[in-house]
Amino acid sequence: EAQVTQNPRYLITVTGKKLTVTCSQNMNHEYMSWYRQDPGLGLRQIYYSMNVEVTDKGDVPEGYKVSRKEKRNFPLILESPSPNQTSLYFCASSLSGVDTEAFFGQGTRLTVV
Amino acid sequence: AQSVAQPEDQVNVAEGNPLTVKCTYSVSGNPYLFWYVQYPNRGLQFLLKYITGDNLVKGSYGFEAEFNKSQTSFHLKKPSALVSDSALYFCAVRDSGTYKYIFGTGTRLKVLA
């Protein structure tokens, strides 16, 4: 089954404790990205990657890191999480090409206390 | 800068009645427009897209959308609403340079039995 898999689905952590949210896709997609969803703000892009070893900042990159060492994986790293990073996070992938639709993971609800 | 507006936070409609969820956009160049649906505790699912051609686009689950260039709108429609259509709907435009999706703030559709 074609899918984007995120882990964990739920995470509660403390301020400053480094964490990684994993994302993996099995569709051989070139393009992957991370979004955060906050009430009243819709989804905002954090980082994106057009292909292996190519990543770039989205609209809200502060406090986040990513890497793209393999085509299928695109982990999101919070080196020192803060409460304002409490949010619902989505990973998405698509074929390259502006006319292609994205496939989204199930989401990771992160709470930083 | 590209942007998408969904002017209604919530739309209520009776089951069996037609529904419309509104979306307007602002882009430089050709618009690449998408609709996604989010059910509770799930990721976003692709419904339909407009790239070029016919202004009436048909998608999944009986949904369609009408592209109107002069009004810069891309409204989502369905002739007969179902209770199971109740969900959060996002309109998005895709940037042709970064391939980033720019999402609206979402419209919650509530179909009443």
What gap in Å lies between CA B46 and CA A106, rounded to an integer? 13
Taking contacts as CB-CB distances below 8 angstroms, the residues of chain A near B100 are 33, 45, 48, 58-59
**Residue A85 has what DSSP assignment?**
G
CB contacts of B33 in chain A (<8 Å) are none
pLDDT at B95 over 90: no
CB spacing of A40 vs B105 below 8 angstroms = yes
Closest residue in A to B90 (Cα) is A42
**In the prediction, which pLDDT does A18 show?**
97
Q: Does position A8 have pLDDT exceeding 90, yes or no?
A: yes
3-state class of B104 per DSSP? coil
Q: Tell the burial category of A96 from Cβ atoms under 10 Å away from its Cβ (0-12, 13-18, 19+).
A: exposed
Express each pLDDT in B26-45 by its tens digit. Answer: 988 888 999 999 998 888 99
φ and ψ of A84, to 5 deg:
-75, 0
Q: Does B5 contact A at CB distance below 8 Å?
A: no
The pLDDT confidence band at residue B108, using thresholds 50, 70 and 90, is very high
B90 touches chain A (CB under 8 A): yes
Under the banding of pLDDT at 50, 70 and 90, the label for residue B109 is very high
Chain B: closest CA distance from residue A71 (Å): 17
Contact: B43, A56; criterion CB under 8 Å: no
- Write out pLDDT tens, residues A26-80: 999 999 999 999 988 889 999 999 999 899 999 999 999 999 999 999 999 999 9
pLDDT digits (tens, 9 = 90+) for A65-82: 999 999 999 999 999 999
Contact A98 B49 (CB under 8 A): no
Taking the Cβ of residue A50 and every Cβ of chain B, the question of whether any pair is shorter than 8 Å is answered with yes
Across B57-74, average pLDDT: 95
| CB nearest to A107's CB, from B43, B99, B103 | B43
B-chain residues within 8 Å CB-CB of A90? 43-44
Cβ neighbours of residue A1 closer than 8 Å, sequence gap 6 or more: none
Residue of A98, A106, A108 for testing the chain B interface, max B β-carbons within 10 Å: A98
Chain B partners of A105 at a C-beta cutoff of 8 Å?
A: 43
pLDDT of residue A97: 82
More confidently predicted of A53 and B13:
B13
Per-residue 3-state assignment (H helix, E strand, C coil) for B39-70 = CCCCCEEEEEEECCCCCEEECHHHCEEEEECC
In chain B, what residues touch A94 (CB-CB under 8 Å)?
99
Q: Is the pLDDT of residue B1 over 80?
A: no
pLDDT confidence tier of residue B53, bands split at 50, 70 and 90: confident
